[in-house]
Structure 1
Amino acid sequence: MAGAPRIEHLITSGTFSLDGGTWNVDNNVWIVGDDDEVVVIDAAHDAGAVLAAIGDRRLSAVVCTHAHNDHVNAAPDVANATGAPILLHPDDQVLWTMAHPDRRPDGPLADGDELKVAGIGLRVLHTPGHAPGAVCLYAPELGAVFSGDTLFAGGPGATGRSYSDFGTIIASIGDRLLALPGETVVHTGHGDTTSIAAEAPHLQEWAARGW
């Protein structure tokens, strides 16, 4: 028996670099699946730790919520070790190339796609703003959405650097994420988990102050 589909969580540490600056960051790596098959959402920093968490299970894909280097820097090593494809929205190719100029993703993510793992679906929601090709992954059977850096506990992702836009991220959150059921648990790219219901009342407040 493969067991029930579930969400596993790993925190890895490294650096994020863009626009000439570098910052120390802790990233959430999410592993979704069962005892036989998983997907990795955002292979960050430490390929060895990610591979150890996967164990002897089949990795069906390395899914990138966006291509800032801290979310994709371990993706090629994880993919090469397992044979799994790296999936990325094409609008983030410019950011991907900064991190991996000699390795392209293996396949595209598009709004409305559904990735299957362990008998459940992960629906791709294109949510630009933090990055042009940012996506979230909604797993209705698990009551969860994986928000990357689009939505955090307490506010939207940062939009003060290249290839990001505040108005766009606010629209993405309002139109795509806040349309999900309120009880949906939000598994973020950094920091604490939250819920749609906890964040929804604050959208207009964020928009008004420009975050």
Structure 2
Amino acid sequence: MAGGARVEHLVTSGTFSLDGGTWEVDNNVWLIGDDDEVVVVDAAHDAGAILAAVGDRRLTAVVCTHAHNDHVNAAPAVADAKGAPILLHPADDVLWKMTHPRRRPDCDLADGDEVAAAGTVLRVLHTPGHAPGAVCLYAPDLGVLFSGDTLFAGGPGATGRSHSDFGVIISSIGGRLLTLPGETVVHTGHGGSTTVAAEAPHLEEWAARGW
């Protein structure tokens, strides 16, 4: 693996709230780095647990795949404890402000940006649909994609709530994610991982049934 970068995984638990409802959820927190530095993808729920996983390494960024509260509620505490920037696509500002009205992200993410992670690169893919500013992070050197809530094992992310759009997420998945190499491992925002090859045959089925 380039630069000795590796992928580490932490599951944290809390709640997701939107449109007047609240649900218990388990979130995947992903760390990409080596023994010296690390990037955190989606600082969810438990700042203490995430900081313990980071340890004494330099935290270079907290990257948000989107700004639903369950993916960003621990981001300021984690970032500020380590002096790291929070990165978010600006189209998700409306969702971010619901959770952190007085703390802004530090840097805007844009399609095509690259985030350095211990000698490897996380390439930003803007994949709206689940949220307007949703992004996925593709690490070609590692053969992995961090899909947030855009693509799961078995289907696309939910689009039944405000600031989401089913047609848009299907376009994002088909045009940006399922064009990646089939062996690419997809690390999701909730639940188990999958591969591009496992999901690609089902896109038309999802689109036809409006899932």
Residues of 2 paired with 1:77 and 1:129: CA distance?
A: 28
2:64 aligns with 64
Amino acid at match of 2:38: V
Amino acid at match of 1:185: V
- Taking the aligned partners of 1:9 and 1:116, their CA distance within structure 2 comes to 18
Say if 2:16 and 2:69, in contact at 8 Å, map to a contact too: yes
TM-score (structure 2 length as normaliser): 0.98
Counterparts in 2 of 1:1-211, with a 5 A limit?
Answer: 4-211=4-211
Distance 2:122 2:46 in 1: 24
Query: Aligned equivalents of 2:165 and 2:117: distance in 1?
Result: 32
1:83, 1:118 → 2: CA distance?
A: 17
SS in 2 for 1:12: strand
2: CA distance, partners of 1:208 / 1:84: 43
What is the rounded CA distance, in whole Å, between the counterparts of 1:166 and 1:172 in structure 2? 10
Contact 2:4/2:119 (8 A) holds in 1: no
Deviant stretches of 4+, over 3 Å: none
Q: Is the 8 A contact 2:8 2:30 kept in 1?
A: yes
In 1, Cα distance between the equivalents of 2:55 and 2:187?
Answer: 22
Residue 38 of structure 1 aligns with an amino acid whose one-letter code is: V
Distance 1:160 1:43 in 2: 24
Kindly provide the amino acid, as one letter, of the partner of residue 101 in structure 1.
Answer: P
How far off is 1:117 after superposition?
A: 1.4
The answer for unaligned runs of 5 or more in structure 1 is none
1:142 CA displacement:
0.5
Structure 1 residue 42: deviation in Å? 0.0
Aligned residues: 209
Corresponding residue SS for 2:105: coil
SS at match of 1:197: helix
Over the residues paired in the alignment, what is the CA RMSD in angstroms? 0.6
CA distance in 2, matches of 1:84, 1:118: 15
1:51-96 Cα distance to aligned partner (Å, 9 max, x none): 0000000000000000000000000000110000000000000000
1:100-119 CA distance string (max 9 Å, x none):
00100000000000111111
Residue identity in the other structure for 1:44: A
**Fraction of identical pairs, as percent:** 81
- Give the Cα–Cα distance (whole angstroms) in 2 for the partners of residues 179 and 187 of structure 1: 16
